[in-house]
Amino acid sequence: MTADPAYLAKNGTKCRAHTRAYLDGKVVAEGFDVALVSDHLDDGHIVWLDLEKPTVEDLRVITEELGLHPLAVEDAVAEHQRPKLDSYENHLFLSALVARLSDSSELSLHEVDAFITDRALVTVRKSDSIGVEHLTHRWDGAPKNAGSGVGFLLHGLLDLIVDGHFATVQVLDEQLDSLEDVLFDEQPRSRELQRRSFEVRKSLVLLRRAVLPMREVVNSLLRRDLGVVDEHMQPYYQDVYDHVLRATEWTESLRDLVSTILETNLTLQGNRLNEVMRTLTSWAALLAVTTAVTGFFGQNVPYPGFGKESGFVLSMVLLFGGTGGLYFFLKKRGWM
Q: For the segment 48-83, what is each residue's pLDDT rounded down to a tens digit?
A: 999 988 888 888 878 888 888 999 999 888 887 789
More confident residue, 177 or 305: 177
How does the average pLDDT of the chain come out, rounded? Answer: 81
Between β-strands 16-23 and 26-30, what pairing exists: parallel, antiparallel or unpaired?
antiparallel
Give the C-alpha separation, 33 to 51, whole Å: 12
Hey, what domains does the chain have and what are their CATH numbers?
A: 5-268 (3.30.460.20), 274-332 (no CATH)
Percentage, residues of the chain above pLDDT 70: 82
* Other Cβ atoms closer than 10 A to 15: 19
Cβ atoms 332, 324 nearer than 8 A: no
CB of 62 closer than 8 Å to CB of 135: no
Residues 106 and 101: their CA atoms lie apart, in Å, by 5
Rounded distance, CA 118 to CA 25, Å?
Answer: 15
pLDDT of residue 306: 63
pLDDT tier at 176 (50, 70, 90 boundaries)? Answer: confident
The pLDDT value given to residue 297: 62
Q: What is the pLDDT of residue 9?
A: 41
Q: Place 96 in a pLDDT band, splitting at 50, 70 and 90.
A: very high
Q: How far apart are CA 136 and CA 255, in angstroms?
A: 34
CB count within 10 Å of CB 161 equals 24
Please answer whether residues 13 and 3 qualify as being in contact, where contact means their C-beta atoms are separated by less than 8 angstroms: no
pLDDT (0 to 100) of residue 302: 66
DSSP structural state of residue 4: P
Residue 48: Cβ within 10 Å count: 27
